[in-house]
C-alpha cells in the first residue's frame, strides 16, 4: 500500500542521569537557572534577616 516500508523505531535508550544530559534534553538555559537561583537566595536572605537568625 505504501512505498515506505521501514518500520524500525529508533529510540535513545541511554540513561539521562547527568546534569548535562538533563539540561540538553529539556533545553534549559543556564542564565535563566542562575536568575531563578539568585531570586531564591535573595528571598531566603530577606526572610532570615527578618527572623534575626
The domain total for the chain is 1
Q: What pTM did the predictor assign?
A: 0.49
Q: What is the mean pLDDT of residues 26-44?
A: 89
35 within domain boundaries: yes
What per-residue confidence (pLDDT) applies to 25? 72
Question: Which tens digit of pLDDT belongs to each residue from 3-14?
Answer: 666 667 676 666
Dihedral in degrees, nearest 10, Cα atoms 41, 42, 45, 51: -120
Helix then strand count (H, E) for the chain reads 2, 0
State the maximum Cα–Cα separation within the chain, in Å, rounded to a whole number. 75
Helix (H) or strand (E) holding 52: none
Examine the pLDDT at 1 and tell me if it is beyond 60: no
The domain containing residue 36 runs over which residues?
A: 19-51
12 within domain boundaries: no
High-pLDDT (> 70) share of the chain, %: 70
Q: What is the mean pLDDT of residues 25-30?
A: 76
8 within domain boundaries: no
3-state SS class at 1: coil
Amino acid at each position: 500500500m505504501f512505498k515506505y516500508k521501514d518500520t524500525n523505531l529508533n529510540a535513545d535508550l541511554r540513561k539521562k542521569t547527568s546534569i548535562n544530559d538533563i539540561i540538553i534534553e529539556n533545553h534549559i538555559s543556564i542564565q535563566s537557572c542562575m536568575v531563578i537561583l539568585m531570586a531564591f537566595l535573595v528571598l531566603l536572605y530577606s526572610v532570615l534577616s527578618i527572623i534575626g537568625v
